[in-house]
Structure formats: structure tokens, C-alpha cells
Structure 1
Amino acid sequence: MKKSDKKKSDKKNKLYLSDKQPLSTVGKLMLFLSYIVLFAWALIILLPLADMVVSAFNGRQEQYIMLNDNFQFSLKHFDYLFNETLYLSWVKNTLFIAIMTAVITLIIVSFTGFAYSRYRFKGRKASLMAIMLIQTIPTFAGITAYFTMHSVISSIAPFFTRQMMLILIYAGGGIASNTFILKGYIDSISTELDDAARIDGCSSMQVYRLIIMPIAKPMLAIIALWSFIGPFMDYLLPRVLLTNPESYTLAAGLFTLINDFRTMNQPAFAAGGLLTAIPIVALFIVLQKQLVSGLSQGSVKG
């Protein structure tokens, strides 16, 4: 047999590396339609973002965003944002609320998730059901209760501000949902690791600190990211609870640039929205390392 004939025979008998069969005509058509839908969805998301970026740096934009204006690079909208508004105060307030919310949520959730996963105690199932039911109640539905709680606490402790009340609301809501999520994640960690650590003389706290938490770093990173992003994205509660513009968060503060004709400046709003994304993206980049490295840590004894 000639070498050329042998190569042709090998090609015919060659097995696919994948278990999947070649796409049929209908399969190719559906794949093409899927790409069309994904491309259209990407355009729907990216076009407003691109318009926001262009408008933030376009010096020809004045009070309103005009899509047909010629582009002229300028930083005047950022200058207006920093010098004519309370933007820096809004940033400081939002970072304070977001960091405190993330820290409080992480500390409490790490303990409650571990306790619900590894211990059996009276009222465990009932409290888990209560946690699930709490999530069905909208946060805004308790606005009257929040005002009452703030009035009672501030009468006892005058230093208790509305921002602190907002932190408790965000952390309280996050603790309930994230406890259930973290419990499910820790349930997937073998209890044999706990038993081996206890044989070596570790206490329950050492098992929690040296075994469970390092392995649970990926989920803790996600919880931290969710808790941090929440105050940046929420407009309703800060707008209702915070009455002083100097105490506004970014969402509530930037909204004043588009909802009031006296302070209307849509390009400055676009510039503020662009800057708001920076700390969230930075935190995501930092925590992304934990999502990868946390999976291989904690279960290896040194």
C-alpha cells in the first residue's frame, strides 16, 4: 500500500478527540443563531457603556448628553464633579459603608456558616427556614421599622448615625442570605479533614481557622465582593434614610445630577459613574486571585 493511500485510510479511521459528534445542519444553524443573540446582547450592554465613557470625556457636552456632537477631549466634567459637587464626600461615605458592611458580613457569616454546617443543635432547622423566609421580605418594606429603630438607638447612643443604621441594614440582609450559601459550600468539605485535625489535637476553633476557612476562601471572596458592591448599587435606601446631601452615598449623590433641573449635568453624571466602577473592578481583580488559589489551600497539612 502506498504511503498516500495509507494516510487517507488513517484520516478516515481517525477518532474524534471529543465525544461530541460533528454538528448537523440544524445544529450549525442553532449555533449561528446563538452567536447572533450573544452579539446583540453584547451590543445592548456595551453601547450605553461606550456612550457613558465618550460623554464623560467630551468637552462639547454641556448640560445634557448629545449623541450627535463632535468629540473634543476634555476633563471639564471631572473638574466639575470634584469642585462643584460633594463627590469626594459621597465617595468617602460609600467606601466607609461598603467596607464596614463587607467586614461585618464576613466575620459573622464565617461563624454562622461553619456552625450550621458542622454542629447539630436545637432549633437549627427552624432557624434555617426562618433565614429563607426572611429573604422573601423586601428590604424597603421595613423602612418604618428602620426609622423607629434608629430613633430608639440614637436616643440611647447619640453617636449612632443614619449611615451606621444603613450599615446594619446591609449587613443584616447579607448575613441571612450568605449564611445559607456558605453553609452549603462548607457542607461539601469532607468532615474527615475535621476528624484528622482533631486527632492531631486541634480544637473546634483551630479546625475553623486552619482547615475550613482556607478551603472556603473562594466563597468568602464572592461574599465579600457582593457585600462591597451592594452599597454602590443601592439608591433607594440611602435616598430615604440619608437626609443630608453631605452624607449621601454615590448612588444617591450622583442622582442629584440628573433629577433636578437646578443641578442638571448629565455628562458629569457619566463621569461619576465611570469613576464609581474603579473600586469595584479593583476589588474584583484582587479577589480573583483568592478564587483560584483558595481551592488548593487548607486541606494540605504542613
Structure 2
Amino acid sequence: MNLVTKKIGNLLRPKSSLYLSDRQPLTLLGKIKLFFTYLILSVWAFLILWPLYQMVRAAFNGLQYSHIVMTHNYEFSLRHFEYLFNETLYLTWVKNTIFIAGATALITVAVVSLTGYAYSRYRFKGRKPTLMTIMLVQTIPTFAGIVAFFTLHSIVSSVFPMFTRQMMLILIYSGGAIAGNTFVLKGYIDSISTELDDSAKIDGCSNLQTYRLIIMPIARPMLTIIALWSFIGPFMDFLLPRVLLTSPSSYTLAAGLFTLVADHRTMNQPAFAAGGLLTAIPIVILFLALQNQLVSGLAKGSVKG
């Protein structure tokens, strides 16, 4: 009977007296700080989402013509997308970008997986100087070497005529990604216990088998992140493709879409917005699709390490 009375009393107790968290209730100053925090975050979200909203609205607005105008008049239409597919080389730009991005990601992951493992697990002559050199190379802007890139392409293409400017662009992207991501993967592999390597060697594994069977499965989440970064890079870069690629049929998406707004005589900002929307959608979907796998893989890797 006393137990029933106690339970009834707990149910009738005012909710304000119940506090399930270990933290103390917010004071007036804490509530004010929390209010301004949410206010700043809301303003920041608005500044990000408003241009995106205008881009999406203009892409589907049939009343928009050569320029994007802030107007309340709206008529749903796909004519800007039709212009993009029928009057431009959009599909060619997509194909070029996917080729460059895919090749960059494959080369980067293949080389970084080896260099990161080597710098993490081996102590060889010249290790520190080469790491320092890689770090210093990262401080030099890529565009600063544009003359060297042109010269290198001229030399190589004179020997191998099949060496195109797109291949040169792949090597530039891959070189920059390899240098930076070597440090990233090295730091990740450093966190993996060397006892796993010792156990594998006791079981008779060679260094290559240890790398392939032990280290790489654990480092797979970081390799996935590196591949994703390397793949997205060519989609976002405009300057190098615009300078190195001279033919519109060889442009990437960023350089190709710029032609829609570069000349006022052929200006078509709504079609540019439609192209930007189509470019962003697959990247966002790819990132969201891999995000859960990345988080899950990182958690598993930390347990294994």
C-alpha cells in the first residue's frame, strides 16, 4: 500500500521539480547566451540557404531570361534545363569532369595508401627531409606553377602525343592531393597499434601482407574520405581548367558553366543556376550516402586499433 501511495505521489508531483539531467538548470544569463547562440546560428543558416533558394527558384522559373531578377512572378518551367542539354556541351562537360575526378581519386588513393603506410611504419634515410619537403610544397599556390605546367605538357606531349591537357590536369590534382593526404593517412595509421603488425609477422605475414590484410582494412574509412575529397575537388575547381583547357569540348563543369555568364551577349544566368544545381545534387547525394559508412567505419577502426 505504501508503494502504491509513493508512485501516485510521484505522478502528482509538479513536472518542474523533475530534472533528469546531471546538469543544473540554466540561469538567466545562461538562457540569454543560449538565445543569442541560436540567433547567430539562425542568421548564419539564412545567409547560406537564401542564395541556394534563389538559385533553385531561378532554375525552375520560366519567367527568368538572361539575368536572374528578384521578382515575385513565378512560372514553373524546365526550359533552362532544356537549354542546358540542347544548346550547350553540358553532357560533355559532365563526362570530362567525371573522368578527371575518377582518375584523380584512383591515383591519389593508390599512392597515398602506400606513402602513408611507409612514412608511418618505416624509418628510412631521408624520411624527415622528404616529409618537410612535402609540407613546404603545400605552401606554394598551385597556380604559381602554371608556366611550369605548360612547359612540362609541351615536353611530354612532344614525346607522347596522346598526353592531353586533361591528363596534365589529372597529374596536377593528384600531385597536390597526394602531398597533403600523405600527412592525413600517416597520422591515422600512427594511431593504429604496432602490436597488430607484430602479431601478423608472428603469423608469417610479410610486410606487404601486413599492409594489405591488417592496415588497409582498418584505414579504409580514412581512404574513403581521401577518395571523396579527391573526387569532389575537380568539380569545384575553376581556375586551372579554365587556363589549361583551351577547347570548350574539353572543359570541366566549372569552366564550362562559366561560359554561360562570361559574355554579356550570350548571358544566361538561369541556365547557369540550373547547371550549378545539377552539379551539386550528385555531390550532395554521394556525400550523404557515404557519411554513415564513414562514421561507422571510423568507429570500428578505433575499436580494432
Q: Same fold (TM over 0.5)?
A: yes
* Residue 172 of structure 2 is aligned to residue 150 of structure 1: no
Kindly indicate whether residue 243 of structure 2 is the aligned counterpart of residue 243 of structure 1.
no
Q: Match for residue 277 of structure 1?
A: 280
- Looking at structure 1, the residues matched to 177 and 132 of structure 2 have their Cα atoms a distance apart, in angstroms, of 16
Instruction: Please tell me whether the aligned partners of residues 219 and 301 of structure 2 are also in contact (alpha carbons under 8 angstroms).
Output: no
Matched, 1:180 2:183: yes
Cα distance per residue 1:230-268 (max 9 Å; x no partner): 101111000000111111110011011112112210000
CA deviations 1:53-103 (Å, max 9, x no partner) are: 111111111111111141111110000000001111111111100000010
In structure 2, relative to structure 1, the CA distance for the partners of 1:201 and 1:267 (3 Å cut) is same
1:218–1:291 CA contact under 8 A, matched in 2: yes
Which amino acid letter does the alignment assign opposite residue 58 of structure 1?
N
Q: Given the superposition, is the C-alpha separation of residues 232 and 273 from structure 1 closer, same or farther in structure 2, using an over 3 Å criterion?
A: same
SS for the counterpart of 2:163 is coil
Between the aligned partners of 1:285 and 1:13, the Cα distance in structure 2 is 41
Q: Aligned with 2:139: secondary structure?
A: coil
Instruction: Give distance in 2, aligned partners of 1:15 and 1:26.
Output: 19
- Code of the residue aligned with 1:204 in structure 2: it is N
Contact 1:105 1:174 in 2 (8 A): yes
1:257 is aligned to 2:260? yes
Q: Counterpart amino acid of 1:255?
A: F
- CA distance in 1 between counterparts of 2:237 and 2:274 reads 18
38, 43, 50: which one aligns with 1:40: 43
- Cα distance in 2 for residues equivalent to 1:4 and 1:95: 65
Residues 45-60 of structure 1 aligned to structure 2 (within 5 Å): 45-60=48-63
> Which of 141, 144, 160 in structure 1 is aligned with 2:144?
141
Q: Does 1:217 align with 2:237?
A: no
Aligned-pair identity in percent equals: 68
State the partner residue of 1:78: 81
- Residue 110 of structure 1 is aligned with which of 102, 113, 117? 113
Query: By how many angstroms is 1:298 displaced?
Result: 10
Q: CA 1:214 to 1:66, structure 2 compared with 1: closer, same or farther past 3 Å?
A: same
How far residue 14 of structure 1 moved from its aligned partner, in angstroms, is 7.6
The one-letter code sitting in structure 2 at the alignment partner of 1:23 is L
CA apart distance, 1:219 = 1.0
The answer to whether 1:232 aligns with 2:240 is no
Counterpart mapping for 1:114-133 below 5 A? 114-133=117-136
AA in 2 matched with 1:110: S
Structure 1 residues 13 and 280: CA distance shift in structure 2, 3 A: closer
Structure 1 residues 17 and 262: CA distance shift in structure 2, 3 A:
same
User: CA separation in 2, counterparts of 1:61 and 1:12?
Assistant: 55
Q: Does 1:67 align with 2:102?
A: no
Give the counterpart letter for 2:89 in structure 1.
L
Q: What amino acid does structure 2 have at the position aligned with 1:231?
A: P
d(CA) in 2 for partners of 1:80, 1:233: 22
SS in 1 for 2:66: coil
Structure 2 portions without partners, runs of 5+: none
Query: Which residue, out of 251, 267, 287, partners 2:290?
Result: 287
Can you give the 5+ residue segments of structure 1 that lack an aligned partner in the other structure? Answer: none
Structure 1 distance, partners of 2:60, 2:8, is 65
1:107 partner amino acid? A
> Which residue matches 1:96?
99
Matches of 2:18 and 2:53 in 1, distance apart?
47
Distance 1:35 1:156, change over 3 A: same
Aligned-residue offset at 1:292:
3.2
Is 2:112–2:185's contact at 8 Å kept on the other side of the alignment? yes
Question: Judging changes above 3 Å, is the alpha-carbon distance between structure 1 residues 71 and 120 closer, same or farther for their aligned structure 2 residues?
Answer: same
Compute the displacement of 1:113 (Å).
0.4
Letter in 1 for 2:38: Y
Separation (CA, whole Å) in 1 of partners of 2:57 and 2:253: 21
